[in-house]
Structure 1
Amino acid sequence: MRPLLTAAFLAATTGPVFATDTLEALGEALFFDVNLSKNRTQSCATCHDPEVGFVDPRETEAGRAVSLGDDGESLGDRTAPTAAYAMFTPSFEQLDKTAWRGGMFWDGRAAGLAGQAGGPPLNPIEMGMPDKASVVARLAENDAYVASFKALFGDAIWDDDTAAYDAMTQAIAAFERTPFFAPFDSKYDRFLRGEVDLSPQEELGRVLFTSEQFTNCNLCHQLRMSPIAQDEPFTNYEYHNIGTPVNKAVRAANGVKGPDLGLLANPDVDTASAGGRFKVPTLRNVAVTGPYMHNGVFEDLRTVVLFYNKYNTLDKARQINPETNKPWAMPEIPQNLAVDELTHGPALDDKRVDALVAFMKTLTDQRYEHLLED
């Protein structure tokens, strides 16, 4: 499933050194290079594995909710979001006093794909490199990189560590903008092109999902007539507090104390109403990229639908988390809940819950369809 590395990089390991002729090919090599982490065990692809929808499939002490660091011990506090379709994320901006959109990571703190690519290598609980100079020194160990950086950025690129580091992030971003990350070939896309039919259950889910009369899904996960993407990315990239509870298993494993402030942890945001808000994720490949929410607190996609549905029903049975058989836990940050969005639409019966799940399964890229449960 990984794209073929250019002949230049393959030849560089056994024969004469050649420079790649494209930024995308250089970025591909960098994306899979474990030598850019402190202990040479972790690459971008480790936490964004293209075999499983560009998320982290590794089991840890906290399950698959968060990622294990290069040191083999550190655990993060948020799940690694998919890198698929991330190219369409707009720049971070504040829309008004209580609304924000865009930016990378769950809190929008990085600007664009290149900004995101520059974060993990220097994060002490991720790839663990001490500084940019150390990363550049690792790059310089590879003669193919040296030749490629010179060919693509000029001979002087190696004279400035910051410039070389930024060049690395630009190359990774260029690779992440290729169709390998956004094929738009799911069953839903093929349905739109008239190539396949949806099942009756999937069609019911599609109707429910796209109608504000029946659900609140499309308030945040549908972006028609998008200026960002010609096709539907299934997110409006805004920030909301939906009342996600603490993942106690993660906190028991990583020892983190205190609430995750979400958007308020973004250094460019200092408004109290930002607390507890997280960026709306794409629903592309959602059925194969669990666990769910920013902290991986829910294992099953159906649980997520039921979690939203609890805001719209007084049925006592719907106030029970099916994964714990206990009442839904309280929000980690109870302030700033997106009440209007969460309470929009009627309660859903099991038939409609299952239909929504069936429809979201149709958003799975064709190469991941084998991962879907029967």
Structure 2
Amino acid sequence: MTIASKSLSVALSAALALVAFFAAAGPETVPQTPEALGERLFFDTNLSAKRTQACASCHNPDYGFADPRGMASPGDDGVSLGDRNAPTASYAALIPAFHRGADGAWVGGQFLDGRAATLEDQAGGPPLNPIEMGMPDKAAVVARLREDPVYVAAFPALYGAGVLEDAEAGYAAMTRAIAAFERTEDFAPFDSRYDRWLRGEADLTQQEELGRLLFFSQQFTNCAECHKLAKTEMDTAETFTDHSYHNIGTPENRALRAMNGVPLGTVDGGLLDNPAVDDPAQRGKFRTPTLRNVAVTPPYMHNGVFGDLRTVILFYNTYNTKAEARKINPETGAPFGPPPVPDTVSLDKLEIGPALDDQRIDALVAFLKTLTDARYEHLLEDQ
């Protein structure tokens, strides 16, 4: 067979495959809404360099839209490992755009340092990150979109003729579709047992009620100072974060850095790494995460240093206890490590109230478990 005839044969086979695809699939398989298109994109591994990773790889819908695979997510190349824990995408659509609040403090934004101002901006980040999905540029991503006949049909119908012929326009349309999917109720159902309790459809145990009272207390804990958005504690749309930025002194994750090769002692600048921020006083601060689904989305903290929710509460308790035995990390058997950026630790938020005994710590953990969406409650059974 000559090269020309071989090329013709390959082209004919591809054309026949395309015809067969549409014949078998039918027009109903082409997404008719941005949300449906975004869902398909969210699970599409072809948008990564080696075609192994999708948004859902690090934001697994079966695990609270977080990554259960470890302290940090592996990259599409199978080698790269980041230095931060992938935050849950649950309720991310409710995070306000990155801005300064009335008091001048930074609020909102996507990613742990707010560097993506909006959900659309966030959706455009991972495909081009060399240690995540690893695509070289927007044009390469849009070229992958043009390979798929479903996208070739859906994008022009939803975003205008020729949208996939322009890299910037095509990429922007992709991020808009993914963001539209992330704004659906699947990501923010507000149907946890806590929500059902608010509606009078479920009861809390004595332990959970104690945890709730402690959580919202300003005398015994200060949890709600940063993990409450609404003015009242009975708000049915509470996201359990005010989207503010703080340095809580989270210790270095030495185990992660032994795996990813980041030199020990390297300081993650947090909010100061955001290109929009030029203030050394913001170094080491990270956005306060939602506590919804927190019990089923380990590991914890921006660097995944803690694997158990109870350890997180014990860590917070170190700011209020003088007993050295209560300053031991049960996961390592050694004292909790020092804060990487001691000068900006939010001590005014952390040093409050008496030290908590085990009964109260367990009660707080029990309450936090009630914030688990119904679709993930089965995951609590394994704890």
Which TM bucket (shorter chain)? Answer: over 0.9
Q: Considering only aligned residues, what root-mean-square deviation do their CA atoms show, in Å?
A: 1.6
User: Which residue of 2 is the match for residue 156 of structure 1?
Assistant: 162
Going from structure 1 to structure 2, the CA distance change for 1:136 and 1:192 (only over 3 Å counts) comes to same
Give the ranges of 4+ consecutive aligned residues of structure 1 lying more than 6 Å apart after TM superposition.
Answer: none
Match of 1:40 in 2: 51
- Structure 2: which amino acid aligns with 1:48? H
3-state secondary structure, aligned to 1:180 = coil
Aligned to 1:76: 82
Q: Structure 1 unaligned segments of length 5 or more: list them.
A: 1-10, 59-63
Greater shift in the superposed pair: 95-104 or 292-301 = 95-104
CA-to-aligned-CA distance 1:38-88 (integer Å, 9 cap, x gap): 000000000000001111122xxxxx1000000000001100000000010
Give the alignment's TM-score, normalised by structure 2.
Answer: 0.90
Hey, what's the Cα distance between the residues in 2 that align with 1:179 and 1:98? 32
Measured after TM superposition, the shift of residue 147 of structure 1 is: 0.9
Q: Specify the alignment match of 2:206 in structure 1.
A: 200
Number of paired residues? 357
Q: State whether residues 216 and 341 of structure 1, in contact with CA within 8 Å, keep that contact through their aligned partners in structure 2.
A: yes
Quote the residue 1:14 is aligned against: 24
Letter in 2 for 1:275: R
User: Which deviates the most, 156-165 or 303-312?
Assistant: 156-165
Q: Match of 2:35? A: 24
Q: What is the identity, as a one-letter code, of the residue corresponding to 1:49?
A: N
Name the CA distance, whole Å, in 2 between partners of 1:341 and 1:124.
36
- TM-score norm. by structure 1 comes to 0.93
Equivalent position amino acid for 1:14 in 2: A
Distance 2:329 2:238 in 1: 31
- The CA deviation string for residues 20-50 of structure 1, in whole angstroms up to 9 with x for no partner, is 2210000000000000000000000000000
Would you say the 8 A contact 1:17–1:143 is kept in 2? no
**Is the 2:198–2:236 Cα contact (8 Å) retained in structure 1?**
no
Q: Which has the larger radius of gyration?
A: 2
Distance in structure 2 (CA, Å) of the matches to 1:251 and 1:259:
12
**Residues 39, 181 of structure 2: 8 Å contact kept:** yes
**Cα displacement (A) at 1:316:** 1.7
1:332 is aligned, of 340, 349, 352, to: 340
Alpha-carbon shift at residue 97 of structure 1 (Å): 7.9
Match of 2:63 among 52, 60, 73: 52
Q: Distance in 1 between matches of 2:275 and 2:197?
A: 42
Give, in whole Å, the separation in 1 of the partners of 2:156 and 2:119: 22
- Where in structure 2 are there 5+ consecutive unaligned residues? 1-20
**Does residue 273 of structure 2 align to residue 268 of structure 1?**
no
Q: Are the equivalent residues in 2 in contact too, given 1:98–1:273 (CA < 8 A)? A: no
Among residues 233, 238, 247, which one is paired with 2:253 in the alignment?
247
Mapped partners of 1:142, 1:246: distance in 2:
43
CA-to-partner distance for each residue in 1:242-280, whole Å, 9 max, x for gaps?
001110111111112321111011011010000000000
Structure 1 Cα separation of the partners of residues 22 and 224 of structure 2:
49
Distance 2:321 2:36 in 1: 51
How far, CA to CA, are the matches of 1:13 and 1:270 in structure 2? 56
**Cα distance, 1:174 vs structure 2:** 0.1
Partner in structure 2 of residue 105 of structure 1: 111
Aligned to 1:3: none
1:5 matched residue in structure 2 = none
Over 3 Å counting, the alpha-carbon distance change for 1:350 and 1:13 in structure 2 is farther
The corresponding residue for 2:126 is 120
Measure how far apart 1:100 and its partner are: 1.2
Change (3 A) 1:302 1:15: closer
Other-structure match for 2:242: 236
